[in-house]
Amino acid sequence: MAYQLYRNTTLGNSLQESLDELIQTQQITPQLALQVLLQFDKAINTALANRVRNRVNFKGSLNTYRFCDNVWTFVLNDVEFREVTDLVKVDKVKIVACDGKSE
Amino acid sequence: MQSKVMDDFRKSSINSSNFVLQLPANYQQTEPELSASISIPASQSNGLPAKNNSETLATFSLPAALAYPVQIPAGVTLQTASGQLYKVNVPVVVTQAPASRPTQREAPAPRPPPGPSNPRLHQETEPASFAAQTHTSLPMIPESDLPHPTYESEITLGEDEASPSQEPVNASPLTQLLNFQISTERALKETVPSRDIDEILKEVIEEESEKARKLSAGSTDNQPDADLGLDLDYAYSQLSELVQLDGPSDNSEEDEEIPQDENDFLGFINAEAIKALQDENISNDSNSISSSDEDPVELTNVEEEDPLNSGDDVVEQDIPDLFDTENVIVCQYDKIHRSKNRWKFHLKDGVMSYGGKDHVFSKAVGEAEW
């Protein structure tokens, strides 16, 4: 079972909103919407694992850290994300990371 | 009318030697009915102005042979109706006043006759004869016996040490109801100071004359009671001089008790004050109020401390807003490392959204200092 972690991304949120509208108009059933989301989870996990090959570095100050249910949640302040091409500075960023170790 | 002397005597279990002389109120009428008679020393020539009742000694079963005048030997312990005991150290002669009030009680001489008590009352006609007859029934005690007091069988014993103060006691109370308790215990213990007979006689005569004057002055029934009351008060005052080790007069406990009461009271006040404060200041933290054990005077300080303490809750507001950021990175972690306050992140397969743009990474390494 793939992580449902990526549903809270721009892409995932957009999908969910669309599905909710379809449910409201009763064009689809909620069960169908759920199946759609599950399919989305599988697809995004596979794509990130296979179709992405870049590396990012970041550096900043740690405001908070949380580890619960094997999920890390950080809040960083004044973070610089450095990628090969460009540099982005952010005042505040939240990082949610699930356990990536394979079983 | 039956005599009550023996009744009391039977009831009293104090001492077998004790006997109660109770003068009925209507003794004058019951005189003839009286069975017992008080033995009176034959030596009526003691000089007492009182008449001498030359009755033989008999068991003391009642109030005074009440053939007035009634003479009671010295050292008799008289008990009034109120229960007060008076020791008469001198022979008491109870005479019937012209107003049909027998009275006259002689001032006691400082010579309590010792000796075992017995139900018999021995009368001494001689004022100086403090030593009473023996209980074995000596009808009379001649004056010659006075010089050497017979301590053995003395009838009258003064249980009450306040006998000298009994002078003011008039015979009128005696007329109503007088319980004469005679015990020989005291008599045995007490020693009769040696005196000259002549001196004793003089004293007794003087006292008796005073008594007579007192009685002639007209004494009401209440007076003797008042006198008795005075005596009672006097005795009570003596008792009050005793050191009180406990009770309200104890000063040692005052300091301890007061603070305890105050603490309890304060605790009570705190509950009420706290409630009032809570009603007034709803916004204030209840934690500080409930945890304070301060006096009501200091409650105002607690109130001031609340806003001060609220300054410690700075982080609380930031927590809900802290996680509501648009810049979110959703990824997976390979390894999270920390050394003291330095954190290192090894992340993979992440989707980043920041600066209004989304980014993806297969691998991300980061460092942050907490």
User: How many residue pairs bridge chain A and chain B with CB atoms within 8 Å of each other?
Assistant: 139
Determine the angle formed by the axes of helices A30-51 and A10-24, rounding to 10 degrees: 160
* A72 inside domain: yes
The answer to whether position A34 is within a domain reads yes
Q: Are residues A39 and A66 in the same domain?
A: no
Within 8 A by CB and 6+ apart from B336, the residues are A67, A72, A97, B343, B344, B345, B346
Q: Closest CB to B325: pick one of A54, A65, A93.
A: A93
Residues of A in contact with B368 (CB under 8 A): 59-62, 74, 76, 79
- Both tokens of B80, joined, read 């009034």
B51's CB contacts (< 8 A; 6+ apart) are B44, B68, B69, B95
In terms of C-beta distances under 8 Å and separation of at least 24 residues, what long-range contacts does A85-94 make, across chains too?
Answer: A88/B354, A88/B355, A90/A60, A90/B327, A90/B354, A90/B355, A92/A63, A92/B325, A92/B327, A93/A60, A93/B325, A93/B327, A93/B328, A93/B329, A93/B354, A94/B323, A94/B325, A94/B327, A94/B328, A94/B329
Domain carrying residue A64: 57-98
Shared domain for A46 and A63, answered yes or no, is no
**Within this chain, do residues A67 and A85 fall inside the same structural domain, yes or no?**
yes
Does residue A69 lie within any of the structural domains?
yes
- Residue B367 touches chain A, beta carbons under 8 Å: yes
Contacts of A65 in chain B (CB under 8 A): 343, 370
Both A41 and A66 in a single domain? no
Judge if A61 and A47 occupy the same domain: no
Whether A16 and A45 map to the same domain: the answer is: yes
What CA–CA distance (Å, rounded) separates B71 from B171? Answer: 12
| Cβ-based contacts of A5 with chain B (< 8 Å) | 330, 332
So what's the pLDDT on residue B162? 43
What does the DSSP assignment read for B237-257? Answer: HHHHTSPP-SSTT-STTHHHH
On whether both A9 and A40 belong to a single domain, the answer is: yes
- Contact status of A59 with chain B (Cβ, < 8 Å): yes
B305 neighbors B332 (Cβ within 8 angstroms): no
Q: Note whether A11 and A44 are same-domain residues.
A: yes
Q: What is the pLDDT of residues A24-67, one digit of tens each?
A: 999 999 999 999 999 999 999 999 989 999 999 999 999 999 99
B30, with CB counted inside 10 A (0-12, 13-18, 19+), is middle
If one counts the domains in chain A, the total is: 2
CATH code of the domain in which A81 resides: 2.30.18.10
Q: Please report residues of A whose CB lies closer than 8 A to that of B370.
A: 61-63, 65
Q: A10 with A31, same domain? A: yes
Measured between beta carbons, the chain B residues lying within 8 angstroms of A97 are: 329-333, 336, 345, 347, 350
Among the listed residues A57, A61, A54, A62, the one whose alpha carbon sits nearest the alpha carbon of residue A88? A57
Residue A36 sits in the same domain as residue A22: yes
Closest chain A residue to B346, measured at CA: A57
For residue B215, the tally of other CB atoms under 10 A from its CB is 21
| DSSP conformation class of B152 | T
Query: Would the CB atoms of B349 and A9 count as touching at under 8 Å?
Result: no
Whether the CB-CB separation of B134 and B151 falls below 8 Å is answered with no
Give the residue carrying structure tokens 């990175």: B329
Chain A CB contacts of B359 under 8 Å are: 56, 81, 83
Does B339 touch chain A if contact means CB atoms closer than 8 Å?
Answer: no
Please name the residue of chain B whose CA is at the shortest distance from the CA of residue A98: B332
Q: Is A68 at the interface with chain B, CB within 8 A?
A: no
Asked which of A21, A36, A51 is the last residue of a domain, the reply is A51
Residue among B328, B330, B349 minimizing CB distance to A52? B349
Task: Please identify which residue in the block is written with the tokens 């229960």.
Answer: B83
Structure letter (DSSP) for residue B260: H
Contacts of A88 in chain B (CB under 8 A): 354-355
∠B33-B34-B37 over CA atoms, to 5°? 145
Question: Which residues are CB-neighbours of A31 under 8 A, at least 6 positions away?
Answer: none
CATH classification at residue A11: 1.10.287.190
Q: Quick check: pTM over 0.90?
A: no
ipTM of predicted complex: 0.93
CA distance B280 to chain A (A): 37
**Domain annotation covers residue A103:** no
Under DSSP, is residue B189 helix (H, G, I), strand (E, B) or coil?
Answer: helix
Cα A34 to chain center, whole Å? 18
Cα B304 to the center of its chain, rounded Å: 52
Shared domain for A10 and A46, answered yes or no, is yes
> Taking CB atoms and an 8 Å limit, are B347 and A52 in contact across chains?
no
For residues B199 and B184, give the distance between their C-alpha atoms in angstroms, rounded to a whole number: 25
Same domain, A68 and A82: yes
- Along the 370 residues of chain B, how does pLDDT read in single tens digits? 666 666 655 555 444 445 455 555 555 444 444 444 444 444 444 444 444 444 444 444 445 445 667 676 777 776 666 777 777 777 767 676 665 444 444 444 444 444 444 444 444 444 444 444 444 444 444 444 444 444 444 444 444 444 444 444 444 544 555 455 444 555 545 555 555 777 777 777 787 778 777 766 655 544 444 455 455 555 555 555 666 667 665 555 545 544 454 555 555 555 565 566 656 555 555 444 444 444 555 555 555 556 667 666 655 555 455 444 568 999 999 999 999 989 999 999 999 988 778 889 999 999 999 9
